[in-house]
Chain A
Protein backbone atom coordinates (compact mmCIF):
# COMPACT_ATOMS: atom_id res chain seq x y z
CA UNK A 1 0.00 0.00 0.00
CA UNK A 2 1.48 3.32 -1.09
CA UNK A 3 1.44 5.79 1.75
CA UNK A 4 -0.38 9.00 0.89
CA UNK A 5 1.14 12.48 0.87
CA UNK A 6 1.33 14.04 4.33
CA UNK A 7 0.41 17.71 4.37
CA UNK A 8 1.89 20.21 6.82
CA UNK A 9 0.91 23.65 8.03
CA UNK A 10 2.58 26.33 5.91
CA UNK A 11 4.22 29.09 7.98
CA UNK A 12 2.50 32.46 7.82
CA UNK A 13 4.42 34.93 5.65
CA UNK A 14 4.11 37.56 8.44
CA UNK A 15 3.85 37.70 12.25
CA UNK A 16 0.58 36.90 14.01
CA UNK A 17 0.12 40.52 15.05
CA UNK A 18 1.17 41.95 11.68
CA UNK A 19 -2.40 42.40 10.41
CA UNK A 20 -3.57 44.46 13.38
CA UNK A 21 -5.78 46.38 13.72
CA UNK A 22 -7.71 44.75 10.83
CA UNK A 23 -7.30 41.26 12.34
CA UNK A 24 -6.12 40.76 15.91
CA UNK A 25 -3.11 38.63 16.82
CA UNK A 26 -5.34 36.36 18.92
CA UNK A 27 -7.56 35.60 15.94
CA UNK A 28 -4.60 35.01 13.64
CA UNK A 29 -2.90 32.70 16.14
CA UNK A 30 -5.98 30.56 16.71
CA UNK A 31 -6.96 30.62 13.07
CA UNK A 32 -3.55 29.45 11.88
CA UNK A 33 -2.30 27.15 14.65
CA UNK A 34 -5.67 25.59 15.56
CA UNK A 35 -8.24 25.87 12.78
CA UNK A 36 -5.94 25.50 9.78
CA UNK A 37 -3.92 22.81 11.57
CA UNK A 38 -7.12 20.83 12.28
CA UNK A 39 -8.04 20.78 8.59
CA UNK A 40 -4.57 19.43 7.81
CA UNK A 41 -4.73 16.80 10.57
CA UNK A 42 -8.15 15.62 9.43
CA UNK A 43 -7.05 15.61 5.79
CA UNK A 44 -4.00 13.47 6.55
CA UNK A 45 -6.11 11.04 8.60
CA UNK A 46 -8.75 10.80 5.86
CA UNK A 47 -6.09 10.19 3.20
CA UNK A 48 -4.66 7.30 5.25
CA UNK A 49 -8.15 5.81 5.59
CA UNK A 50 -8.68 6.28 1.88
CA UNK A 51 -5.42 4.49 1.03
CA UNK A 52 -6.54 1.58 3.23
CA UNK A 53 -9.96 1.49 1.58
CA UNK A 54 -8.38 1.62 -1.87
CA UNK A 55 -6.00 -1.23 -1.09
CA UNK A 56 -8.98 -3.33 0.02
CA UNK A 57 -11.03 -2.33 -3.03
CA UNK A 58 -13.66 -1.04 -0.61
CA UNK A 59 -15.48 1.34 -2.90
CA UNK A 60 -18.24 2.15 -0.41
CA UNK A 61 -15.69 3.25 2.19
CA UNK A 62 -13.90 5.33 -0.45
CA UNK A 63 -17.14 7.10 -1.35
CA UNK A 64 -17.95 7.77 2.29
CA UNK A 65 -14.50 9.30 2.80
CA UNK A 66 -14.87 11.67 -0.12
CA UNK A 67 -16.95 14.11 1.90
CA UNK A 68 -14.39 14.38 4.69
CA UNK A 69 -11.55 14.68 2.18
CA UNK A 70 -13.30 17.46 0.26
CA UNK A 71 -14.03 19.39 3.44
CA UNK A 72 -10.57 19.04 4.96
CA UNK A 73 -8.64 19.50 1.72
CA UNK A 74 -10.81 22.52 0.93
CA UNK A 75 -10.06 23.94 4.37
CA UNK A 76 -6.33 23.49 3.80
CA UNK A 77 -6.39 25.00 0.30
CA UNK A 78 -8.68 27.91 1.15
CA UNK A 79 -6.73 28.96 4.23
CA UNK A 80 -3.42 28.69 2.36
CA UNK A 81 -4.75 30.98 -0.37
CA UNK A 82 -6.16 33.34 2.29
CA UNK A 83 -2.90 33.79 4.23
CA UNK A 84 -1.08 34.46 0.96
CA UNK A 85 -3.51 37.11 -0.22
CA UNK A 86 -3.16 39.12 3.02
CA UNK A 87 -0.24 41.30 4.05
CA UNK A 88 0.44 43.97 6.69
CA UNK A 89 -1.16 47.32 5.86
CA UNK A 90 2.27 48.97 5.97
CA UNK A 91 3.59 46.74 3.19
CA UNK A 92 3.81 48.25 -0.32
CA UNK A 93 1.94 45.13 -1.51
CA UNK A 94 -1.13 46.36 0.39
CA UNK A 95 -1.48 49.25 -2.07
CA UNK A 96 -3.87 48.60 -4.96
CA UNK A 97 -1.27 50.36 -7.14
CA UNK A 98 0.79 47.18 -6.91
CA UNK A 99 -1.89 45.44 -9.01
CA UNK A 100 -2.14 47.80 -12.02
CA UNK A 101 -3.43 45.28 -14.56
CA UNK A 102 -5.99 43.74 -12.21
CA UNK A 103 -7.27 47.09 -10.95
CA UNK A 104 -7.73 48.18 -14.58
CA UNK A 105 -9.73 45.01 -15.25
CA UNK A 106 -11.77 45.52 -12.05
CA UNK A 107 -12.53 49.11 -13.02
CA UNK A 108 -13.57 47.99 -16.49
CA UNK A 109 -15.91 45.40 -14.96
CA UNK A 110 -17.34 47.28 -11.95
CA UNK A 111 -16.71 50.93 -12.74
CA UNK A 112 -14.14 51.52 -10.01
CA UNK A 113 -12.22 49.71 -7.30
CA UNK A 114 -14.53 51.24 -4.68
CA UNK A 115 -17.65 49.99 -6.44
CA UNK A 116 -16.11 46.54 -6.69
CA UNK A 117 -15.31 46.56 -2.97
CA UNK A 118 -18.87 47.60 -2.12
CA UNK A 119 -20.25 44.81 -4.26
CA UNK A 120 -17.79 42.29 -2.82
CA UNK A 121 -18.74 43.26 0.74
CA UNK A 122 -22.45 42.96 -0.02
CA UNK A 123 -21.79 39.44 -1.30
CA UNK A 124 -19.78 38.61 1.84
CA UNK A 125 -22.62 39.80 4.09
CA UNK A 126 -25.16 37.82 2.09
CA UNK A 127 -23.57 34.47 2.96
CA UNK A 128 -25.99 32.28 4.91
CA UNK A 129 -23.78 30.36 7.29
CA UNK A 130 -20.08 29.57 6.96
CA UNK A 131 -18.25 30.18 3.74
CA UNK A 132 -15.95 32.29 1.62
CA UNK A 133 -16.19 35.22 -0.76
CA UNK A 134 -13.97 35.12 -3.83
CA UNK A 135 -12.86 37.28 -6.68
CA UNK A 136 -12.34 34.76 -9.49
CA UNK A 137 -11.54 34.81 -13.15
CA UNK A 138 -13.37 32.52 -15.54
CA UNK A 139 -10.70 30.47 -17.29
CA UNK A 140 -12.56 30.41 -20.60
CA UNK A 141 -14.03 33.89 -20.94
CA UNK A 142 -11.40 35.62 -18.72
CA UNK A 143 -14.29 37.52 -17.11
CA UNK A 144 -13.91 38.59 -13.49
CA UNK A 145 -16.66 37.52 -11.09
CA UNK A 146 -17.48 37.68 -7.39
CA UNK A 147 -18.68 34.33 -6.10
CA UNK A 148 -19.15 32.58 -2.76
CA UNK A 149 -18.36 29.03 -1.72
CA UNK A 150 -20.07 27.40 1.22
CA UNK A 151 -18.28 25.88 4.20
CA UNK A 152 -14.88 24.76 2.85
CA UNK A 153 -15.83 24.23 -0.77
CA UNK A 154 -13.07 25.39 -3.09
CA UNK A 155 -13.91 27.58 -6.07
CA UNK A 156 -15.40 25.43 -8.83
CA UNK A 157 -13.44 24.12 -11.80
CA UNK A 158 -13.24 26.70 -14.55
CA UNK A 159 -12.75 29.56 -12.10
CA UNK A 160 -9.31 30.80 -11.04
CA UNK A 161 -9.33 32.25 -7.51
CA UNK A 162 -7.61 35.63 -7.25
CA UNK A 163 -8.70 36.81 -3.79
CA UNK A 164 -10.41 34.85 -1.02
CA UNK A 165 -11.98 36.22 2.16
CA UNK A 166 -12.89 33.87 5.00
CA UNK A 167 -16.39 34.56 6.35
CA UNK A 168 -16.51 31.79 8.94
CA UNK A 169 -17.28 33.33 12.30
CA UNK A 170 -13.94 32.10 13.67
CA UNK A 171 -12.25 34.52 11.24
CA UNK A 172 -13.56 37.61 13.02
CA UNK A 173 -15.73 36.84 16.05
CA UNK A 174 -13.24 37.43 18.90
CA UNK A 175 -12.66 40.95 17.62
CA UNK A 176 -15.82 42.01 15.79
CA UNK A 177 -18.49 39.83 17.48
CA UNK A 178 -21.64 39.95 15.36
CA UNK A 179 -20.45 43.05 13.49
CA UNK A 180 -19.20 41.22 10.44
CA UNK A 181 -19.68 44.33 8.31
CA UNK A 182 -16.76 46.01 10.07
CA UNK A 183 -14.56 42.96 9.52
CA UNK A 184 -15.44 42.96 5.81
CA UNK A 185 -14.63 46.68 5.60
CA UNK A 186 -11.36 46.42 7.53
CA UNK A 187 -9.97 43.50 5.57
CA UNK A 188 -9.28 45.73 2.55
CA UNK A 189 -6.49 47.39 4.55
CA UNK A 190 -4.54 44.14 4.51
CA UNK A 191 -5.21 42.68 1.05
CA UNK A 192 -2.01 41.68 -0.70
CA UNK A 193 -2.65 43.30 -4.06
CA UNK A 194 0.75 42.28 -5.36
CA UNK A 195 -0.15 38.62 -4.78
CA UNK A 196 -3.61 39.06 -6.29
CA UNK A 197 -2.02 40.60 -9.40
CA UNK A 198 0.38 37.63 -9.63
CA UNK A 199 -2.58 35.26 -9.58
CA UNK A 200 -4.34 37.33 -12.23
CA UNK A 201 -1.33 36.96 -14.51
CA UNK A 202 -0.63 33.30 -13.67
CA UNK A 203 -2.19 30.02 -14.82
CA UNK A 204 -4.57 28.14 -12.52
CA UNK A 205 -1.93 25.68 -11.30
CA UNK A 206 0.37 28.58 -10.44
CA UNK A 207 -2.28 29.97 -8.11
CA UNK A 208 -2.50 26.73 -6.13
CA UNK A 209 1.27 26.16 -6.14
CA UNK A 210 2.27 22.99 -4.26
CA UNK A 211 -1.43 22.26 -3.60
CA UNK A 212 -2.34 22.10 -7.32
CA UNK A 213 -2.38 18.28 -7.20
CA UNK A 214 -4.57 18.18 -4.10
CA UNK A 215 -6.91 20.75 -5.64
CA UNK A 216 -7.43 18.72 -8.82
CA UNK A 217 -8.03 15.55 -6.77
CA UNK A 218 -11.13 16.92 -5.02
Chain B
Protein backbone atom coordinates (compact mmCIF):
# COMPACT_ATOMS: atom_id res chain seq x y z
CA UNK B 1 0.00 0.00 0.00
CA UNK B 2 2.86 2.40 0.73
CA UNK B 3 3.37 3.05 -2.96
CA UNK B 4 -0.22 4.22 -3.38
CA UNK B 5 -0.30 6.42 -0.27
CA UNK B 6 2.46 8.73 -1.40
CA UNK B 7 3.45 9.92 -4.78
CA UNK B 8 6.42 12.21 -4.99
CA UNK B 9 6.01 15.22 -7.23
CA UNK B 10 7.33 15.29 -10.79
CA UNK B 11 10.29 17.38 -9.64
CA UNK B 12 11.03 15.01 -6.83
CA UNK B 13 10.93 12.01 -9.16
CA UNK B 14 13.40 13.69 -11.55
CA UNK B 15 15.65 14.46 -8.62
CA UNK B 16 15.44 10.87 -7.49
CA UNK B 17 16.27 9.60 -10.98
CA UNK B 18 19.16 12.06 -11.28
CA UNK B 19 20.52 10.84 -7.98
CA UNK B 20 19.97 7.18 -8.71
CA UNK B 21 23.57 6.49 -9.57
CA UNK B 22 24.87 8.16 -6.41
CA UNK B 23 25.02 6.45 -3.08
CA UNK B 24 21.68 6.48 -1.27
CA UNK B 25 23.05 8.31 1.75
CA UNK B 26 24.44 11.15 -0.28
CA UNK B 27 21.23 11.42 -2.26
CA UNK B 28 19.11 11.67 0.84
CA UNK B 29 21.07 14.62 2.08
CA UNK B 30 21.23 16.50 -1.19
CA UNK B 31 18.03 15.93 -3.11
CA UNK B 32 15.34 14.87 -0.64
CA UNK B 33 11.94 16.32 -1.50
CA UNK B 34 9.03 15.75 0.81
CA UNK B 35 6.42 13.60 -0.94
CA UNK B 36 2.81 14.64 -0.81
CA UNK B 37 -0.03 12.26 -0.17
CA UNK B 38 -2.25 11.92 -3.23
CA UNK B 39 -5.62 10.35 -3.89
CA UNK B 40 -5.08 6.86 -5.29
CA UNK B 41 -7.14 5.81 -8.31
CA UNK B 42 -9.92 3.35 -7.59
CA UNK B 43 -9.10 -0.10 -9.01
CA UNK B 44 -12.65 -0.25 -10.50
CA UNK B 45 -15.37 2.09 -11.80
CA UNK B 46 -17.58 4.06 -9.41
CA UNK B 47 -20.59 2.00 -10.42
CA UNK B 48 -18.79 -1.34 -10.27
CA UNK B 49 -19.82 -2.23 -6.71
CA UNK B 50 -23.56 -1.85 -7.38
CA UNK B 51 -25.95 -2.96 -6.02
CA UNK B 52 -23.97 -3.30 -2.76
CA UNK B 53 -22.72 0.29 -2.93
CA UNK B 54 -24.21 2.82 -5.34
CA UNK B 55 -22.06 4.65 -7.89
CA UNK B 56 -23.05 7.98 -6.38
CA UNK B 57 -21.81 6.97 -2.93
CA UNK B 58 -18.55 5.64 -4.35
CA UNK B 59 -17.93 8.82 -6.33
CA UNK B 60 -18.58 11.19 -3.40
CA UNK B 61 -16.74 8.93 -1.01
CA UNK B 62 -13.63 8.74 -3.20
CA UNK B 63 -13.55 12.17 -4.89
CA UNK B 64 -14.74 14.27 -1.96
CA UNK B 65 -14.36 12.52 1.37
CA UNK B 66 -11.09 10.69 0.70
CA UNK B 67 -9.66 13.76 -1.09
CA UNK B 68 -10.47 15.90 1.96
CA UNK B 69 -8.45 13.56 4.18
CA UNK B 70 -5.56 13.71 1.70
CA UNK B 71 -5.69 17.52 1.70
CA UNK B 72 -6.02 17.68 5.47
CA UNK B 73 -3.09 15.34 5.95
CA UNK B 74 -0.84 17.32 3.60
CA UNK B 75 -1.78 20.60 5.30
CA UNK B 76 -1.13 19.18 8.77
CA UNK B 77 2.14 17.61 7.61
CA UNK B 78 3.36 20.95 6.26
CA UNK B 79 2.51 22.64 9.54
CA UNK B 80 4.26 19.84 11.36
CA UNK B 81 7.40 20.24 9.25
CA UNK B 82 7.39 23.96 9.96
CA UNK B 83 7.03 23.33 13.69
CA UNK B 84 9.81 20.75 13.51
CA UNK B 85 12.10 23.21 11.74
CA UNK B 86 11.45 25.73 14.50
CA UNK B 87 11.92 23.02 17.13
CA UNK B 88 8.46 23.96 18.45
CA UNK B 89 7.58 20.79 20.33
CA UNK B 90 4.26 22.08 21.64
CA UNK B 91 3.05 22.84 18.13
CA UNK B 92 4.15 19.38 17.00
CA UNK B 93 2.17 17.77 19.80
CA UNK B 94 -0.86 19.96 19.13
CA UNK B 95 -0.89 18.78 15.50
CA UNK B 96 -1.00 15.08 16.40
CA UNK B 97 -4.82 14.76 16.48
CA UNK B 98 -5.09 16.29 13.00
CA UNK B 99 -2.37 14.02 11.62
CA UNK B 100 -4.01 11.00 13.21
CA UNK B 101 -7.44 11.95 11.87
CA UNK B 102 -6.52 12.94 8.32
CA UNK B 103 -3.63 10.49 7.96
CA UNK B 104 -5.87 7.76 9.36
CA UNK B 105 -8.64 8.77 6.96
CA UNK B 106 -6.24 8.51 4.03
CA UNK B 107 -4.80 5.15 5.09
CA UNK B 108 -8.16 3.63 6.02
CA UNK B 109 -9.88 4.61 2.79
CA UNK B 110 -6.95 3.41 0.69
CA UNK B 111 -7.08 0.01 2.41
CA UNK B 112 -10.88 -0.04 2.04
CA UNK B 113 -10.91 0.54 -1.73
CA UNK B 114 -8.30 -2.19 -2.13
CA UNK B 115 -10.18 -4.73 -0.06
CA UNK B 116 -13.34 -4.32 -2.16
CA UNK B 117 -13.89 -5.66 -5.68
CA UNK B 118 -16.83 -6.10 -8.05
CA UNK B 119 -17.96 -9.71 -8.35
CA UNK B 120 -16.71 -9.88 -11.93
CA UNK B 121 -13.24 -9.07 -10.60
CA UNK B 122 -13.45 -11.75 -7.93
CA UNK B 123 -15.33 -9.86 -5.19
CA UNK B 124 -17.55 -11.73 -2.74
CA UNK B 125 -17.65 -15.41 -1.99
CA UNK B 126 -15.72 -16.95 0.82
CA UNK B 127 -12.06 -16.78 1.79
CA UNK B 128 -9.81 -19.68 0.95
CA UNK B 129 -6.39 -20.88 2.00
CA UNK B 130 -4.62 -19.17 4.86
CA UNK B 131 -7.36 -16.60 5.51
CA UNK B 132 -10.02 -19.31 5.74
CA UNK B 133 -7.85 -21.29 8.16
CA UNK B 134 -7.14 -18.25 10.35
CA UNK B 135 -10.82 -17.20 10.46
CA UNK B 136 -11.97 -20.71 11.28
CA UNK B 137 -9.37 -21.00 14.03
CA UNK B 138 -10.69 -17.82 15.64
CA UNK B 139 -14.42 -17.97 14.88
CA UNK B 140 -15.31 -21.57 14.06
CA UNK B 141 -16.72 -21.00 10.58
CA UNK B 142 -17.12 -18.22 8.03
CA UNK B 143 -20.79 -17.68 8.77
CA UNK B 144 -20.18 -17.15 12.51
CA UNK B 145 -17.34 -14.80 11.64
CA UNK B 146 -19.59 -12.73 9.39
CA UNK B 147 -22.26 -12.53 12.08
CA UNK B 148 -19.72 -11.36 14.67
CA UNK B 149 -18.22 -8.85 12.25
CA UNK B 150 -21.65 -7.40 11.48
CA UNK B 151 -22.47 -7.20 15.19
CA UNK B 152 -19.22 -5.30 15.73
CA UNK B 153 -20.10 -2.92 12.88
CA UNK B 154 -23.61 -2.34 14.25
CA UNK B 155 -22.23 -1.67 17.73
CA UNK B 156 -20.03 1.26 16.70
CA UNK B 157 -21.27 4.32 18.59
CA UNK B 158 -20.74 7.16 16.17
CA UNK B 159 -18.32 7.15 13.26
CA UNK B 160 -15.73 4.44 12.86
CA UNK B 161 -14.47 1.28 11.26
CA UNK B 162 -14.50 -2.45 11.91
CA UNK B 163 -11.41 -4.44 10.95
CA UNK B 164 -10.25 -7.96 10.72
CA UNK B 165 -6.71 -7.60 12.03
CA UNK B 166 -3.75 -9.86 12.67
CA UNK B 167 -2.25 -9.73 16.14
CA UNK B 168 1.44 -9.36 15.32
CA UNK B 169 2.48 -11.11 18.52
CA UNK B 170 0.32 -14.21 18.30
CA UNK B 171 -0.30 -14.30 14.54
CA UNK B 172 -3.99 -14.85 15.23
CA UNK B 173 -6.78 -12.85 13.60
CA UNK B 174 -9.51 -10.95 15.40
CA UNK B 175 -12.27 -8.39 14.82
CA UNK B 176 -11.64 -4.93 16.26
CA UNK B 177 -13.46 -1.62 15.96
CA UNK B 178 -11.79 1.78 15.78
CA UNK B 179 -13.36 5.19 16.43
CA UNK B 180 -13.52 7.89 13.75
CA UNK B 181 -10.40 7.61 11.56
CA UNK B 182 -8.12 5.93 14.07
CA UNK B 183 -5.82 3.76 11.96
CA UNK B 184 -4.84 0.16 12.63
CA UNK B 185 -1.23 0.55 13.71
CA UNK B 186 1.16 -0.85 16.28
CA UNK B 187 0.36 -4.30 17.57
CA UNK B 188 -2.07 -5.13 14.78
CA UNK B 189 -1.90 -5.48 11.00
CA UNK B 190 -5.05 -4.48 9.10
CA UNK B 191 -6.43 -7.25 6.86
CA UNK B 192 -9.99 -6.21 6.01
CA UNK B 193 -11.66 -2.90 6.82
CA UNK B 194 -15.30 -1.84 6.55
CA UNK B 195 -16.22 1.82 6.76
CA UNK B 196 -19.14 2.37 9.15
CA UNK B 197 -19.28 6.15 8.81
CA UNK B 198 -22.74 7.26 7.73
CA UNK B 199 -21.31 8.80 4.54
CA UNK B 200 -20.35 5.26 3.44
CA UNK B 201 -23.97 4.15 3.10
CA UNK B 202 -26.50 6.85 3.93
CA UNK B 203 -27.54 7.93 0.41
CA UNK B 204 -28.51 4.36 -0.40
CA UNK B 205 -29.48 2.77 2.92
CA UNK B 206 -30.34 5.77 5.17
CA UNK B 207 -30.73 4.51 8.74
CA UNK B 208 -30.93 0.85 7.62
CA UNK B 209 -27.23 0.28 8.13
CA UNK B 210 -27.67 -3.44 8.78
CA UNK B 211 -28.63 -3.81 5.10
CA UNK B 212 -25.36 -2.16 4.08
CA UNK B 213 -23.39 -4.44 6.40
CA UNK B 214 -25.17 -7.48 4.91
CA UNK B 215 -24.57 -6.41 1.31
CA UNK B 216 -20.90 -5.48 1.63
CA UNK B 217 -19.88 -9.14 1.80
CA UNK B 218 -20.80 -9.51 -1.89
CA UNK B 219 -17.90 -7.20 -2.82
CA UNK B 220 -15.10 -8.24 -0.47
CA UNK B 221 -11.77 -8.80 -2.21
CA UNK B 222 -10.47 -11.84 -0.37
CA UNK B 223 -7.36 -11.96 -2.55
CA UNK B 224 -6.24 -8.64 -1.07
CA UNK B 225 -6.97 -9.93 2.43
CA UNK B 226 -4.84 -12.99 1.72
CA UNK B 227 -1.94 -10.84 0.48
CA UNK B 228 -2.11 -8.74 3.63
CA UNK B 229 -2.04 -11.81 5.84
CA UNK B 230 1.17 -13.09 4.27
Tell whether, in the assembled complex, residue B158 and residue A173 are in contact, meaning their CB atoms are under 8 Å apart: no
Tell whether, in the assembled complex, residue A169 and residue B198 are in contact, meaning their CB atoms are under 8 Å apart: yes
Q: Quick one: which of A71, A129, A174, A177 contacts B60, CB cutoff 8 A?
A: A177
Tell whether, in the assembled complex, residue A174 and residue B202 are in contact, meaning their CB atoms are under 8 Å apart: yes
Instruction: Say yes or no for A96: interface residue by CB 8 A criterion.
Output: no
Q: Quick one: which of A38, A150, A174, A177 contacts B158, CB cutoff 8 A?
A: A150
B115 smallest CB distance to A (angstroms): 21
CB contacts under 8 Å to B, within A9-61, are 30, 34-35, 38
Cα distance A130–B180 in the bound complex, in angstroms: 8
Interface set of B (CB-CB < 8 Å, partner A): 60, 64-65, 68, 97, 101, 157-160, 179-181, 197-199, 202-203, 206-207
CB neighbours of A130 from chain B (8 A): 158-159, 198
Chain A, residues 135-170, CB within 8 Å of chain B (1/0): the string is 000000000000000111000000000000000111
Cα distance A147–B160 in the bound complex, in angstroms: 22
Tell whether, in the assembled complex, residue A34 and residue B207 are in contact, meaning their CB atoms are under 8 Å apart: yes
Tell whether, in the assembled complex, residue B158 and residue A30 are in contact, meaning their CB atoms are under 8 Å apart: no
Cα distance A183–B69 in the bound complex, in angstroms: 20
Tell whether, in the assembled complex, residue B198 and residue A34 are in contact, meaning their CB atoms are under 8 Å apart: no
Known contacts A67-B157, A130-B198, then 14 further A-B pairs from the complex at CB < 8 Å, ordered by chain A residue: A128-B101, A129-B158, A129-B180, A129-B197, A130-B158, A130-B159, A131-B158, A151-B158, A152-B158, A169-B198, A170-B207, A174-B202, A174-B203, A177-B60
Q: Quick one: which of A67, A71, A152, A170 contacts B198, CB cutoff 8 A?
A: A170
Instruction: Say yes or no for A202: interface residue by CB 8 A criterion.
Output: no
Contacts A169-B198, A170-B202 hold; do A177 and B64 have CB atoms under 8 A apart? yes
Cβ-closest chain B residue relative to A75: B157
Q: What are 8 A-B pairs with beta-carbon distances under 8 A?
A: A34-B206, A38-B207, A67-B157, A169-B159, A169-B198, A169-B199, A178-B64, A178-B68
State the total of A-B contacts with C-beta under 8 angstroms.
54
A151 smallest CB distance to B (angstroms): 3
B125 smallest CB distance to A (angstroms): 31
Cα distance A181–B60 in the bound complex, in angstroms: 16
Q: Quick one: which of A38, A129, A169 contacts B179, CB cutoff 8 A?
A: A129
CB neighbours of A170 from chain B (8 A): 198, 202, 206-207
B103 smallest CB distance to A (angstroms): 12
A13 smallest CB distance to B (angstroms): 22
Cα distance A34–B60 in the bound complex, in angstroms: 24
B207 smallest CB distance to A (angstroms): 4
Cα distance A130–B65 in the bound complex, in angstroms: 15
Tell whether, in the assembled complex, residue B198 and residue A173 are in contact, meaning their CB atoms are under 8 Å apart: yes
B154 smallest CB distance to A (angstroms): 11
Tell whether, in the assembled complex, residue B157 and residue A151 are in contact, meaning their CB atoms are under 8 Å apart: yes
Cβ-closest chain A residue relative to B197: A169
CB neighbours of B64 from chain A (8 A): 177-178
B10 smallest CB distance to A (angstroms): 29
Cβ-closest chain A residue relative to B65: A178
Cα distance A131–B180 in the bound complex, in angstroms: 11
Cα distance A174–B202 in the bound complex, in angstroms: 7
Q: Quick one: which of B68, B180, B202 contacts A169, CB cutoff 8 A?
A: B202
CB neighbours of A150 from chain B (8 A): 158
CB neighbours of B160 from chain A (8 A): 129
Tell whether, in the assembled complex, residue B157 and residue A71 are in contact, meaning their CB atoms are under 8 Å apart: yes
Cα distance A169–B157 in the bound complex, in angstroms: 13
Tell whether, in the assembled complex, residue A129 and residue B181 are in contact, meaning their CB atoms are under 8 Å apart: yes
Cα distance A30–B198 in the bound complex, in angstroms: 13
Tell whether, in the assembled complex, residue B203 and residue A168 are in contact, meaning their CB atoms are under 8 Å apart: no
Cα distance A19–B199 in the bound complex, in angstroms: 22
CB neighbours of A128 from chain B (8 A): 97, 101, 180-181
Contacts A30-B207, A128-B101 hold; do A173 and B159 have CB atoms under 8 A apart? no
